[in-house]
A and B are shown apart, each in its own frame.
Chain A
Amino acid sequence: EIVLTQSPATLSLSPGERATLSCRASQNVDNYLAWYQQKPGQAPRLLIYDASYRATGIPGRFSGSGSGTDFTLTISSLEPEDFALYYCQQRKNRQTFGQGTKLEIK
């Protein structure tokens, strides 16, 4: 099983700041990596797929990068609605998720 490790567990920032979230895979997943956002009481929402492609309707402040084992989700300028849980997920070998990063207001 491919294990995804996200860091940090919690990220405390202010609106307008830049957020950088990391996801490391235990083995090569090529670019088969997605990012999801989850708000309290809601289902996850697909943000990024294949490491760097924004899903339909996702604002341009969200971007993804990386390949192989190291990936990054960047939010260029945080909006109040961006504070949430974020998960990475791979589809190289079945599907597994990271444990999540909580993005909280500082």
Chain B
Amino acid sequence: EAQLVESGGGLVQPGGSLRLSCAASGFAFSDCSMNWVRQTPGKRLEWISYINSRSDTIFYADSVKGRFTISRDNAKNSLYLQMNSLRDEDTAFYYCARGLEWGDGYFDYWGQGTLVSVSS
């Protein structure tokens, strides 16, 4: 069974940085595209970043472009999100999610999420 476990969330001041990690197991991580999706305290879901299996195709939502960087290490079965210049509105649960193999752009496995709180 596929499993995704996020870590690295926490409380940070506006303008600060955090690095999230997502450890994958139970599937061929190196063959799969991966994403970060966040959910605000009001329960709104927002896709924020995509990376394909070879790391040669990357997309970002406009809301995080230039501030967040997605990356992966297939040897370590791990996905990362470097978050810089954090803002209050970045407060959310952050999920890593696997792209559906036959429907890239849908998310068939999700982690349990890690909470990022941006506040002074």
Report A's interface with B, CB cutoff 8 A.
Answer: 32, 34, 36, 42-46, 49-50, 55-56, 85, 87, 89, 91, 94-97, 99-100
Contacts and interface: CB of A to CB of B under 8 A. Distances in A.
Nearest to B112: A43
Given A46-B108, A50-B103, A94-B59, 5 more contacts: A46-B107, A49-B100, A56-B108, A89-B107, A95-B105
27 contacts: A34-B106, A42-B112, A43-B97, A43-B113, A44-B95, A44-B107, A44-B110, A45-B110, A46-B107, A46-B108, A49-B100, A49-B103, A50-B103, A55-B100, A56-B108, A85-B43, A89-B107, A91-B104, A94-B61, A95-B35, A95-B47, A95-B105, A97-B44, A97-B45, A97-B47, A100-B44, A100-B45
Interface residues of B, number: 21
Interface in B76-109: 95, 97, 100, 103-108
Given A44-B107, A46-B100, A97 B46 contact: yes
Contact of A55 (B43, B47, B95, B108): B108
B32 to A, nearest CB: 14
Contacts of B95: 43-44
B40 to A, nearest CB: 11
Contacts of B43: 85, 100
Contact of A89 (B45, B61, B111, B112): B45
Contacts of B45: 44, 87, 89, 97, 100
Interface string B39-68: 000011111000000000001010000000
Contact of B106 (A43, A46, A96): A46
Given A44-B45, A97-B46, A91 B105 contact: yes
Contacts of A32: 105
Contacts of A49: 100, 103, 106
Contacts of A96: 47
